[in-house]
Amino acid sequence: MNSYDANTTLHAYASQSLFLDASTWEMTKRPYHRSLRPQALGPVDLNAPLTADAFMNYEALAAQRILTTVYEQDMVLLPKSPYDNWRQDFDLFYSPEARKLAGMVRQDLERYVFGYLEETVEVSSGWTREAFLDFLSTKTARTGDVPRWAKTIQGSRDRVRAAKMWLVQFAPDFLSEASPMLKNVLGNYGPIQSEWFKVIIDEYGYGVHEKKHSTLFERTLESVDLDSELHYYWQYYLASALAANNFFHYLGSEHRNFFRYAGALVMTESTLVEFCEHACDVLNDVFDNQCDVEYFSEHCHIDQHHGRMAREKICLALIDHYGEAIIPDMVWGMLAYERLMDDFDEQFAIQIEWMDTQEDMFSLHKQIAPKVLADDSVPVADLDEHFNELSNSHCHNGDELCHIEAGEMYFFSGLDSQLILGPGDGVVIRNRRQHGADILSDSCQYKIYTIGDVAAWQ
Ligand SMILES: [Fe+2]
Ligand SMILES: [Fe+2]
Ligand SMILES: [Fe+2]
């Protein structure tokens, strides 16, 4: 009898042909192809869940990408533009073998990436209906503050690029918006089920495709010359963005989390109004009123209703029917969601800084390379790659120094962010920052030095 080994199964899953490295930054053969980098899954040990401080480590990025793919095999995805042999990819994506592996590994992946929330999101006991209402109003009240992500975009050296990168981070969620909610429609739980369904009907544009929220978001993307096909920008998603999307699929896939989902739902529907007002302002400003912001303006309107529905017709109705003992679960859902969104904003800010300071990272290499190259104790990898060998986007947990010996490299560090590196050039690669490389010459010889913390070399 075969015994199940989580890591072996994970590797088998990621090694399917659809998930091998891409040879272009943007995905071709959408929506089925997405690189899961099976060759670099070594650090992922599903038996040792990630700790709270590791959510941006390479292991987290790798696991969140796989988990997104696992969830998407539960949804129907068809290519917007059918390509040659798309049917073959469709058959592979939904094959019994792929589905079987996905089913085997899903819960271990969820525990791996979200397990730390169980320890770090603390909820006190003794909740009453009244205390919950108070808590909800403090958490969802208008703040009047300019959100961090808005400051990040407005403060960027390249505001248009930053705003586009921000939109891209929402694509995994908004292009199949409300799909995780559908997981809580099946079953039989009385009138609250129909209230839940009403929210979904709006999200799905009550059957009018032009009004479906995902369609509105496609138009937003297209209006600023971004591609609206699912996962065209697969290589650009940060682990923190994938986590925010996967979290709702996790809550919806495991029905023990139903009350937690209700809490997360009331939080998202209630806070989205102010969020979307800021989004309209920032996008109108940055794109000079050329961005189609209807996705956001529609939410300014509809989520006033959804916030109220989620509060009164779902959360309070659940408490009234099933008792105050369910409140801690709802509070947990609210706090976990809040934490993931704080992480989302903070990591977006760090990513934009990384993209904005590429020239500085180029100069920093020049400054520290003599010292690093002269130090025999620094671990180094010697690489020799051929034309168009694409290192698909990834990150490292410590700082690294890339140094080119011969040939030419295209160093990728996010949407429209790159350096061209020739012999003697290089770049400091900051820890946990997304990057990749393409070889522009017939071949390229370069070295990667694991320098730990760049500050120690300055
Ligand atoms: Fe929506
Ligand atoms: Fe909504
Ligand atoms: Fe790298």
CA distance 456 to 458: 6
Looking at all shown ligands, the one closest to residue 175's CA atom is 1
Residue showing tokens 């992500």: 149
CA distance 301 to 337: 22
Contact between 427 and 363 under an 8 Å Cβ cutoff? The reply is no
pLDDT, average across residues 441-451:
98
Looking at all shown ligands, the one closest to residue 427's CA atom is 3
Looking at all shown ligands, the one closest to residue 216's CA atom is 1
pLDDT tens digits for range 397-433:
999 999 999 999 999 999 999 999 999 999 999 999 9
pLDDT, average across residues 366-382:
97
Peptide bond before residue 31 is cis, with ω within 30 degrees of 0: yes
Q: What is the pLDDT of residue 3?
A: 81
What separation in Å is there between the alpha carbon of 267 and the centre of ligand 1? 13
CA distance 113 to 238: 14
Please name each of the domains of the chain with its CATH number: 6-111 (no CATH), 125-356 (1.20.910.10), 358-457 (2.60.120.10)
What separation in Å is there between the alpha carbon of 395 and the centre of ligand 3? 6
Strands 391-394 and 435-439: antiparallel
Two structure tokens written together for 158: 């390249």
CB hemisphere CA count around 169 (13 angstroms): 25
Looking at all shown ligands, the one closest to residue 429's CA atom is 3
pLDDT, average across residues 54-81:
97
What separation in Å is there between the alpha carbon of 243 and the centre of ligand 1? 18
Two structure tokens written together for 444: 């390229």
Looking at all shown ligands, the one closest to residue 297's CA atom is 1
Looking at all shown ligands, the one closest to residue 266's CA atom is 2
Looking at all shown ligands, the one closest to residue 204's CA atom is 1
Q: What is the pLDDT of residue 1?
A: 45
In order of 175, 300, 354, 405, 432, the CA distances from 429 in angstroms are: 31, 39, 9, 17, 9
pLDDT, average across residues 306-332:
97
What separation in Å is there between the alpha carbon of 436 and the centre of ligand 3? 6
What separation in Å is there between the alpha carbon of 394 and the centre of ligand 3? 6
Contact between 26 and 233 under an 8 Å Cβ cutoff? The reply is yes
What separation in Å is there between the alpha carbon of 248 and the centre of ligand 1? 14
Confidence bin at 271 (pLDDT 50/70/90): very high
Looking at all shown ligands, the one closest to residue 398's CA atom is 3
Instruction: Residue 67: name the closest of 108, 120, 6, 115 by CA.
Output: 108
Looking at all shown ligands, the one closest to residue 203's CA atom is 1
Q: What is the pLDDT of residue 394?
A: 97
What separation in Å is there between the alpha carbon of 422 and the centre of ligand 2? 49
What separation in Å is there between the alpha carbon of 215 and the centre of ligand 2? 14
Looking at all shown ligands, the one closest to residue 302's CA atom is 2
Q: What is the pLDDT of residue 450?
A: 98
Contact between 411 and 435 under an 8 Å Cβ cutoff? The reply is yes
Contact between 425 and 365 under an 8 Å Cβ cutoff? The reply is yes
What separation in Å is there between the alpha carbon of 203 and the centre of ligand 2? 6
What HEC string does 379-430 produce?
Answer: CEEEEEEECCCCEEEECCCCEEEEEEEECCEEEECCCCCEEEECCCCEEEEC
Two structure tokens written together for 146: 């300019």
Two structure tokens written together for 56: 């941006």
Query: Near ion ligand 1, which residues have CB within 5 Å?
Result: 203, 213
Looking at all shown ligands, the one closest to residue 179's CA atom is 1
CA distance 274 to 296: 10
| Total residue length of the chain | 458
Average per-residue pLDDT for the chain = 97
What separation in Å is there between the alpha carbon of 178 and the centre of ligand 1? 7
Instruction: Residue 183: name the closest of 104, 248, 246 by CA.
Output: 248
- For 133-200, give the DSSP string: HHHHHHHHS---SPPHHHHHHHHSSSHHHHHHHHHHHHHHHHTTTTHHHHTTTSS--THHHHHHHHHH
What separation in Å is there between the alpha carbon of 235 and the centre of ligand 1? 25
Q: What is the pLDDT of residue 254?
A: 97
**pLDDT exceeds 60 at position 171:** yes
CA distance 30 to 175: 13
**pLDDT exceeds 60 at position 205:** yes
What separation in Å is there between the alpha carbon of 269 and the centre of ligand 2? 5
Residue 299: exposure state from Cβ atoms within 10 A (0-12, 13-18, ≥19):
buried
Looking at all shown ligands, the one closest to residue 267's CA atom is 2
Is the torsion defined by CA of 44, 403, 349, 28 positive or negative?
negative
What separation in Å is there between the alpha carbon of 381 and the centre of ligand 3? 11
What separation in Å is there between the alpha carbon of 429 and the centre of ligand 3? 7
Q: What is the pLDDT of residue 2?
A: 63
Three-class secondary structure of residue 202 per DSSP: helix
pLDDT tens digits for range 226-248:
999 999 999 999 999 999 999 99
CA distance 224 to 77: 24
